[in-house]
Amino acid sequence: MKIFALHNSRGFGELVANELGVALGEHEEREFEDGEHKSRPLENVRNQDVFVIQSLYSDYEKSVNDKLCRLLFFLSALKDASARRVTAVVPYLCYARKDRKTKPRDPVTTRYIARLFEAAGADCILTIDVHNIQAFQNAFRCTTEHLEAKKIFADFLIPQLTTDDAIVIMSPDIGGIKRAEQFQQSISKRLNQELPVAFMEKYRSSGEVWGEKVAGDVKGKTVVIIDDLVSSGGTLARAGVACKRAGAKKVLAVATHGIFTGEPDKTLQEESLQQIIVTNTIPPFRLEHTQVKEKVKILNAAPLFAEAIKRMYEGGSVAELLQD
């Protein structure tokens, strides 16, 4: 087995490698004066099972498209170097939100991304908490492995929640009900009590979001809002305000991917949100000079990825890894 991490995800790659007790593979990423680039492994990969780590988000140095292009080129270079099996380990998968046509002649970008990975020679895609798991699985013809962060969040939250707390698990929109139900089942099993699920109405068109009604009883209760990601934070802020207006005692939010675009201090400083919990699939670089970072907790998803990689390599069950 060989594990590589491209430069922009080197930090996360080192965390995964440390969990596995291996060293990251040596590789070269070279920039050319005209903006072109090349990348190649500096180790023999012939007949090897190779995993390549690259999280696909934009930062201050490279766009998401640039990172995607570099990952695809590196996967192809590995196949050309006779790697037996190549797995793209993508903690955050780009373009996963555009998974269906919502307007005439809309693109289905998730499917186009799948074609790019397959054309580059990827044998498998390993990721976590995509926006729509059914669309993700249907888009790819190569093997896919989908992880969930619910156990990471449960391990963190359970010590903070007691049986005296009246807890409600909430989806900030009806589309996330299944995710909320699965998280509710995980928390309920650990607390040995059946928890209710609530959701908010949400409508979106041309970048505008509206809807403020809460479906479910949250009065006097601790509400845990769960979502796949935090982008501008508007959805979470809306949900937090709506829960407080409905009488919630406390509101927490958990989301796997913390993108934090826009103006986090303006959007997420809302007092109704006591804490926001995300994982390190995306480094919180946009929060460096903000005040809201004090209420954001970053959890480590690398051990989960490391265990999944180990099981994939050894022929173990990834499905069992996700069971409570």
Catalytic residue among 150, 202, 244, 293: 202
Residues with Cβ within 8 Å of 320's Cβ and at least 6 positions away in sequence, in order, are: none
CB atoms within 10 A of CB 74: 23
Whole-angstrom distance, CA of residue 64 vs CA of residue 143: 23
Could you confirm whether 202 is annotated as catalytic? yes
Residue 152 amino acid letter: I
Determine the Cα angle at 101 with ends 96 and 103, to 5°. 125
β-bridge partners, 168: 223
**132 is written with which tokens?**
């729509």
Helix, strand, coil percentages for the chain (3-state, nearest 5)? 35, 25, 40
Residues with Cβ within 8 Å of 181's Cβ and at least 6 positions away in sequence, in order, are: 169, 197
Whole-angstrom distance, CA of residue 124 vs CA of residue 87: 5
**257 is written with which tokens?**
């991917």
Whole-angstrom distance, CA of residue 63 vs CA of residue 66: 5
Phi, psi of 186 (to 5 degrees): -65, -45
Whole-angstrom distance, CA of residue 138 vs CA of residue 116: 15
Give the residue numbers annotated as catalytic, written as ranges: 202
